[in-house]
Amino acid sequence: MNTPRFPKPWCVRAFAAALLLVLLGLSSAASAHPHAWVDVRSALIFDEDGQVVAIEQEWFFDYFYSAFIQEELEGDGGVTQAGLDQIASENMTELEQFGYFTDVRIGMFSVGLGEPHSVATQLEDGRLWMRFVLPLAEPVDPGETKFSYAIYDPTYYVELLHLTDEPIMMVGNAEPGCAARLMPPSPTMEAVALANSLGIDQSPDFSLGELFAEWVHVSCP
Amino acid sequence: MSPAHDHSAGRVPWLAVTAAGVAIALVLVWLAGVTGLWGGALVWIQSMQRHFFDELGAAVAAVREQGGLAAFSLIAISFFYGVFHAAGPGHGKAVVATFLLTQKNDLRRGLALSTLAAFFQGVTAVVAVQVTVMLLDIPLREARSTAMEVEAVSYALILLIGVFLAFSAIRRLRGHAHHHHGPEIAEQPTSWWKLVALAFSIGLRPCSGAILVLLLAHTFEMAWAGIVAVFAMSAGTAGAVGILAYVTVHLRTLALRFARARGDDHHHHGARWLDLVALTGGVLIALLGASLLQVALKAVPQPIF
């Protein structure tokens, strides 16, 4: 029996390259697939001393989710404000273990969050709307430290993005010259491939969303 | 050895064009990765997807309010969503491309595979939604995630088919050890039932867009509009994956022709390395299935959606 003769090496290499490409295409996008969408509007709330004490958020749920909620309420005897409030309160409870999808940082360090309050909700033109104010555990002086926040689902099942053409609002006694810049997501091929290839014991599910997160950078003079 | 001999020089430009196109695509993908454009492209794909879902939702609502005529716009949007969804990277295409690249298939089989997979995907979505909504009678919010659970079965089947393909290649390799005078044995095209099984396993993963549209149509009590939209999506997907199948089948033919033109002793050993390629392909498909299955099984429950 002769040893098998293989075609010229370049041919095998080209073939391997094509296969790798296919695999890369798969790994990059297999998990990169949000199934629900939320339009976000957010505002920074400052105290008397010009420190950030809370982030107010408005969420506009997508058409499908809104319709499902509507159907759920109709099944329970009609869409009422009490029914909507009930759903919003359940959702806030569920979101607690996910840190309300809100990642606040000073430099590289995470900032603790308090209990959300002023929860409100409405169903208008087929879209479900929810508002809440999320306090920071400690007030932050954005003039002293690099302060930023992002609103995202770590699993990337839900894609939360700020409404385009709407600035980040500043409420309260912000220093004149304070600015909030919205940075669009910029995932890299390596990072997404890594997030998808984590081992069995680690969960890639919890690292993907961050790669597709929008960040708000706050700076004060 | 038919592909190498039965075509005259007149066919060569076609293959050269395909090869050049693939080469350019490879370079572009590499450049995109190096320059960071890839991330931008990915973000763009996601924003298009977001946009499509908005349009789909609005189109279903328009059919409810305006009736018949608006159905055409729903069909058109669904079709383009199908094209778009299939043009982006995804597991179905990875399996189809790997399969067509590593196993012997003619164009007819390649196109049949892509069309059947897209059609099965539409059927899966319709059946999954009908079953969850009609029989189980659960809220639509939960019906959606329940309907998506079929995907684990799809991945398991892909894993099985990959293993099966690998084992047939091994069996052929063993066979050659006994009669190595018959190199043509390995060049048997894939059997049709194997093709249908593969298409079925790919299609068993329902498209999330199809499920959403079906559920929305259901809330409006217009299930028919949802079903029409889903098959328009399937048609779009079939077209886009069909183009991929066309390119892949030609790419394989081209690679084989080069390999044979350069190897001197090909009539005696060609089949053997083809079986090794088929074995690699089977293993790759099994690995794809396994990794997808693993991700699907450990999916975390969503807090509110």
The owner of tokens 């249908």 is B196
Q: Who's near B113: CB < 8 A, 6+ residues apart?
A: B96, B99, B100, B105, B195, B198, B199, B245
How many interface pairs between A and B have CB atoms less than 8 angstroms apart? 170
Residue of A nearest to B298 (CA): A203
- Written as tens digits, the pLDDT of chain B (305 aa) is 444 444 444 444 556 666 677 777 777 767 766 666 777 777 787 788 888 888 998 888 888 888 778 888 999 999 999 988 877 666 778 888 889 888 888 889 999 999 999 999 999 999 988 888 877 777 777 777 777 778 888 889 999 999 999 998 888 888 765 554 444 444 567 888 889 999 999 888 888 889 889 988 888 888 888 999 999 999 999 999 999 899 888 888 887 777 777 654 445 555 677 888 888 889 888 888 887 787 777 666 666 67
The 10s digit of each residue's pLDDT in A146-178 is 899 999 998 888 899 999 888 899 999 888 889
Q: Are strands A109-110 and A158-162 parallel, antiparallel or unpaired?
A: unpaired
Distance CA A132, CA A120 (A): 7
Q: Would you call A204 and B33 a contact, using CB atoms and an 8 Å cutoff?
A: no
C-alpha to C-alpha distances, A64 to A39, A67, B77, B117, nearest whole angstrom? 13, 5, 16, 26
How many Å is the Cα radius of gyration of chain A? Answer: 23
Pairing assessment for the beta strands A158-162 and A36-46 based on DSSP bridges: parallel
CB contact under 8 A, A34 and B49: yes
- For the residues A26-30, what does the mean pLDDT come to? 46
Predicted-complex ipTM score: 0.71
Q: Rounded to an integer, what distance in angstroms lies between the CA atom of residue A174 and that of residue B265?
A: 80
Which of B39, B98, B305 lies at the smallest CB-CB distance from A22?
A: B98
Considering only CB atoms, B141 lies closest to which of A68, A126, A186, namely A68
Give chain B's length: 305
Strand duo A109-110 + A102-106: pairing: antiparallel
Inter-chain CB proximity B57 and A63 less than 8 Å:
yes
Chain A residue nearest residue B260, CA to CA: A7
Closest partner residue to A25 among B94, B294, B304, by Cβ?
Answer: B94
Is A72 near chain B, with CB under 8 Å? yes
